[in-house]
Amino acid sequence: MSNLLKERIESLGLILPPAPKPLGVYRPLLVVGDYLYVSGQGPILNDRGLITGKVGGTLNRDQGKNAARQVGLTMLSTLVTHMESGLRIKRVIKVLGMVNATPEFEEHPYVVNGFSELMAEVFGEEHGIGVRSAVGMSLPQNIAVEIEAHFLLEK
């Protein structure tokens, strides 16, 4: 893992939760050529608890957005913990944001902005914002948001 990413995280005053352990048969991240794929992450808190609930039900849109930001912190923790030393992320390519929402809730993009805004803070607007999808569904363990992402590595 690049010391630059660690330094950037520290300079922003971000506090990362513990990196999650896989709860199934998958890898937290995988490097293929110049691409880094990160498995879906949930909103893990510093005490290892989860932000749970349905957006549009027990959670309002701002609480959902905060949960998506927490997913970003969780993903950064996964990167810091599991990336091989020497690898450097050049940019965010693709984000898939999944929001645990009631059928009536329609502001999924607003919620996933919590993640995207954090990536823009960490990597800069030019490299921290990629293409994105934001959808609503039911999520495991009733977590509020799950996000997976693809990154381009520096050559």
pLDDT bucket at 70, cuts 50 / 70 / 90: very high
pLDDT bucket at 155, cuts 50 / 70 / 90: confident
pLDDT bucket at 2, cuts 50 / 70 / 90: low
Which of 40, 35, 43 lies closest to 93 in space, CA to CA? 35
Domains of the chain (ranges, CATH numbers)? 3-18+26-136+146-153 (3.30.1330.40)
Query: Tens digit of pLDDT for each residue in 105-151?
Result: 999 999 999 999 999 999 999 999 999 999 999 999 999 999 999 99
Q: How far is 84 from 69, CA to CA, in rounded Å?
A: 24
Q: What is the pLDDT of residue 85?
A: 87
Helix (H, G, I), strand (E, B) or coil at 59: strand
pLDDT at 1 over 80: no
Query: Tens digit of pLDDT for each residue in 31-64?
Result: 999 999 999 999 999 999 999 999 999 999 999 9
Query: Which residue type occupies 45?
Result: L
Indicate left, alpha or beta for 142 from its phi (over 0: left) and psi (-120 to 50: alpha): left
Query: Which residue type occupies 49?
Result: G
Helices (H), 40-124: 61-82, 108-123
